[in-house]
Structure 1
Amino acid sequence: MAVSFGKATYAKTVQRLIERIYNHSPLKDSIYEQAVLWFAAKPQEDKQAAALEQQLYLFENNQSGAKGKGTARNLKEAESQSQEFNNQVEEAKFQRYSELEAICYDVLQLCQSDTFVDTNQQTAKMLGTIQLMSPTKGRQVAKTNQKARHLYKALLSLRLLDRLVMDGLIDHPYIMECYQASKELPYAENAIHHPYRDNIHVTVLMAAILQDIGRCHPSCQLLLKGPEGNFDEFRELEADERNAFLQDSYNEAFTYVQHALSKGRYRGRDRDERDRFVRDEEQKRELLLLLLKQAARPQEGIGNVLRIPQIYTSMVLSTKQSYNYEDLPKAALALDKSAELGKISKNSVAGFLRIVGMFPQGYGLPYIPKDSDGNDMDRYEYAIVAGLYPSNFRQPFCRIVTYSLTYQASARACVLSIENNLYFAPARKKLEVIPEERLLDILRKLVYDFQERMASPLIPKFWHPYDYFLHTKNQNLWNKAIVISN
């Protein structure tokens, strides 16, 4: 039977969402590619707008003193040119806004449900798929992570917002107004106006996607890629370069929101409905700008909704040369440490860590299985983290992907105990009594690549599930499964 490699339908859908946000393609139609084009064209657009405005002013004030039909004709033509130019600019702004909004609704369709449990399962599936589609070693790690991190961060921002609202840690009047108004409404019905979905969730997704859009400005691109465009954009910047980059990126993100994007357009005929729509669009724009502004210095404010996922994502989907897959679980610990030092909101971090636990979605963990009597066996097997809201921070919910040292489509799940999770030293110590020949035999059966096998420790802390996930039959780690004890 032929083995299918590549991406199954769901993984292809997630990949397409990633590429609609950030990509490098001849079409240049992703959100970030469009931003590069807009920033590059803005000086000429501003110059053209100023010239048309000056021409119109001259004809309106009849500077030449001429009278008659010629002057009226020139004025009319100037008005027509100015109107046509403004219409083109506004239409382009609306098209950019519409594409961004469409992406947000497509994200919500994949990660939202009418129940808390289903919503978290669907979000875990998206996060895990993003991680598992991303190589964890080799030359493509930085480029792949750069593309994927915007969607990854947006999903986490969404879930953190909900957690903070449920915990009473959000006091923004408009958010709470929309939340209260939506409590009894079905979320998945697109035909029904759902204030929390349409006004808050969409806006938070937009803010998360646009948070780094300022990096598309020429000044930031110059710092990243150099005058000839041949610098490694993922290199570590000097302190003064980094400060300039962060400041420019922050400022230009506001420029982009305010000048490159329009607001939504009302298409109905009901006056009251139109008034509500216009009010909501104004409130959404204010919230979007507030989220971006406060993310820089969130303290206890709403900026944590963006800032905490941004920090976490920068470590889990790192673009640094020092990237090490083993260190991914340290992202959660680093957030906890930052909160302890007062750098970010302790309450908000606590809510976030309650969602993600210690181990990122899609992370590969080896563990010691138990026999039917509950005794530890003399081997380890492989599992993949596949669930949010673990009951214990250090005990992830996982899908088991090997059974009796044989890979299989996932049909079992378990909560990995600290005692048997090889990421932790006490579990690894248990296997030190196993003969080396036995450990080598386990390694031969579980590791795909011979070179990787030669470089792997006999008792591993983690494993790379990327190759496993390349098989399309292995890409549904989130279906119903038998849960066994560990």
Structure 2
Amino acid sequence: MNRNATQADSQYVSKVKKLIELVDPVDTAKPSVVTYARHFYAVTADLKKRIQSLAQEVKVVSETRANIAVLEDLKKQHKAAVQQLEKEQADRQRLIITIVSQVIALSEGETYYETQTASSRFLGTLLLLTRGKDGNYARYHQRLKPLYKAVLALRLSDKVLADSSVKHSYLSKYAGVLERFTDEVKMREWANFIATPVIAAAVFQDIGLYHEEAVRILYGEDGEDDPFRELDESFRKQLLKINYQQTLTFIRDGVSFIGCEQNKGPHGFLMELMQDTFTGKSGIGDILKIPQVYSSIVLSTKPGYNRSMLPKGYMLIEQMAKQKSVNSRLAEHFINIVGYFPQGFGVCFIPVNEKGQEKDQYEYAIVSRLNPEHPAEPVCKIVSRNLTFFAAGKEERVAKDRNLFFNATKQKLMKIDRARMTEIMSQLKKNFTIADVDEHIPAFWEPHDFFADRKNQSIWR
């Protein structure tokens, strides 16, 4: 399943990749959230000081009736500086609105069911674009996280809106947007007052890490340190504080939604979400905090990243709920949304014949649906049959007793002889070697190369 280097992605995957570039591009010169944030932290504060200084000079020269030519020049400089500040602000506003619109277009449908499917596809695509621990996975995961969190937070916010036991004045005001699939006015209301601040919060959550003080901690004084290394506790606390303060500064001074007052409407809710994610005072920040924690497992940037840990991400959410670090009701909603196995995760399972009897082999599948009826039993798209890969397989709920991720299930296949397993492995595993037979019962598989083939990128159709 090696990918032809000249093969183009499907239209959908191309859209997802372009959206990633708008948030955190490979080319740091491209317009993006990260590029604009770096510029904001490096330039905007000094630009504001210059505007204030020029305004004061204009006032002094005007009052003293000094040289008219000097006065006109100062006015021109002041006007140009103000225009630059306003243009940069407008550019940032347009960019986040573009990102919000594209996230909605790629993760929302015309019905509840279509929305769940679209969100599954988006989340699954992001995971399938990764290669496990190959290459500079930490940097790539860092680029994917904001959008991954955004869609998870959207789906969790829907659960919160529908749950009368979770009280919040702003959300209660817009509870009616759950009817958006049959009401265009409600759909616009949801997009403007719920989706926009939730998506923006996910995208901006760690933007303060691009402030020069944070960069100095992450990369060291000489700029040569690994930014993904484990930090000492003192540096970690310092970094969290800088990120919190500078993220709020960027949202407050660098981005504001047109027509919104700073502490009201969607901008006010965005600020509250961000503040509460860090402080945990009201608990509403858990809409973002829970997806953040989950994403830190699924798209980990730590040196010990291992795909086998992905289906255990829910355990951390459960543990935090028990410790009252997050709202237990929201944690329950979230686990019901994602189940134990992330979208796009490669499942190995024991197939059954037409009589429902288990075969003495395994096949490959990809997790393809949110909201599984049973968290441990993911709904998957079957992508192999009789040792042959194909993209047009059906969806199927993989029961726990047929999922090889669970040790009890793996024991069922230990009876397969070596020759039979060699045949299976040679046809299903990329870069197969005879040594793989000794580890012949895989708990899961890596579907990146399968998905890299354009004809296999339509598994959610």
TM range (shorter): over 0.9
Question: What SS is found at the alignment partner of 2:444?
Answer: coil
Q: Deviations over 1:176-215 (max 9, x none)?
A: 323426736756x6x9972121121111101110011101
Q: Give the one of 10, 18, 21 matched to 2:12.
A: 10
How much does 1:76 deviate? 5.4
How many residues are matched? 458
How much does 1:50 deviate? 3.4
Q: Give the one of 321, 324, 329 matched to 1:342.
A: 324
For 1:212-291, list aligned pairs within 5 A: 212-264=206-258, 278=260, 282-291=264-273
Native 8 Å contact 2:338 2:371 kept in 1: yes
Q: Deviations over 1:90-138 (max 9, x none)?
A: 2210111111111101110111123111100000000000000111131
Q: Give the one of 85, 99, 103 matched to 1:103.
A: 99
Native 8 Å contact 2:218 2:227 kept in 1: yes
Distance 1:324 1:185 in 2: 39
Distance 1:53 1:455 in 2: 76
2:390 aligned with 1:408: yes
2:79 aligned with 1:83: yes
2:402 aligned with 1:420: yes
Residue 175 of structure 1 is matched in structure 2 by: 171
Question: What SS is found at the alignment partner of 1:128?
Answer: helix
- Considering only aligned residues, what root-mean-square deviation do their CA atoms show, in Å? 2.4
Assess, with a 3 A threshold, how the Cα gap between structure 1 residues 319 and 226 changes in structure 2: closer, same or farther: same
Distance 1:7 1:137 in 2: 22
Residue 337 of structure 2 is matched in structure 1 by: 355
For 1:65-214, list aligned pairs within 5 A: 67=65, 70=66, 74-75=70-71, 77-180=73-176, 183=179, 186=182, 194-214=188-208
Native 8 Å contact 1:235 1:320 kept in 2: yes
Native 8 Å contact 2:149 2:292 kept in 1: yes
Native 8 Å contact 1:366 1:380 kept in 2: yes
Question: What SS is found at the alignment partner of 1:254?
Answer: helix
Percent of aligned pairs sharing the same letter: 29
Distance 2:216 2:239 in 1: 9
Q: Give the one of 370, 393, 397 matched to 1:388.
A: 370
Native 8 Å contact 1:354 1:390 kept in 2: yes
Assess, with a 3 A threshold, how the Cα gap between structure 1 residues 192 and 462 changes in structure 2: closer, same or farther: closer
How much does 1:282 deviate? 3.8
* Range with bigger deviation, 87-96 or 177-186: 177-186
Native 8 Å contact 1:199 1:280 kept in 2: no
How much does 1:377 deviate? 0.5
Q: List gaps (5 residues or longer) in structure 2.
A: none
Assess, with a 3 A threshold, how the Cα gap between structure 1 residues 7 and 360 changes in structure 2: closer, same or farther: same
Residue 47 of structure 2 is matched in structure 1 by: 45
Q: Deviations over 1:322-354 (max 9, x none)?
A: 000111111111111111122211111000001
* Range with bigger deviation, 236-245 or 433-442: 433-442
Native 8 Å contact 1:142 1:319 kept in 2: yes
Distance 1:241 1:439 in 2: 50
Q: Give the one of 44, 48, 57 matched to 1:55.
A: 57
Native 8 Å contact 2:260 2:267 kept in 1: no
Q: TM-score, normalised by structure 2?
A: 0.93
For 1:281-320, list aligned pairs within 5 A: 282-298=264-280, 301-320=283-302
Native 8 Å contact 1:149 1:313 kept in 2: yes
How much does 1:411 deviate? 2.1
Q: Deviations over 1:252-299 (max 9, x none)?
A: 0011111112431xxxxxxxxxxxx55699411111110000011336
Q: Give the one of 369, 373, 377 matched to 2:351.
A: 369
Native 8 Å contact 1:336 1:349 kept in 2: yes
Q: List gaps (5 residues or longer) in structure 1.
A: 265-276, 480-486
Native 8 Å contact 1:299 1:345 kept in 2: no
Distance 1:124 1:463 in 2: 19
Question: What SS is found at the alignment partner of 1:383?
Answer: strand
Residue 21 of structure 2 is matched in structure 1 by: 19
Give the counterpart letter for 2:57 in structure 1: Q
Distance 1:114 1:280 in 2: 32
Question: What SS is found at the alignment partner of 1:183?
Answer: helix
Native 8 Å contact 1:94 1:263 kept in 2: no
Question: What SS is found at the alignment partner of 1:233?
Answer: coil
Distance 1:420 1:185 in 2: 37
Q: Deviations over 1:428-476 (max 9, x none)?
A: 0111222233222211121011359638721110110011111111111
Distance 1:138 1:377 in 2: 33
Q: TM-score, normalised by structure 1?
A: 0.89
Give the counterpart letter for 2:206 in structure 1: D
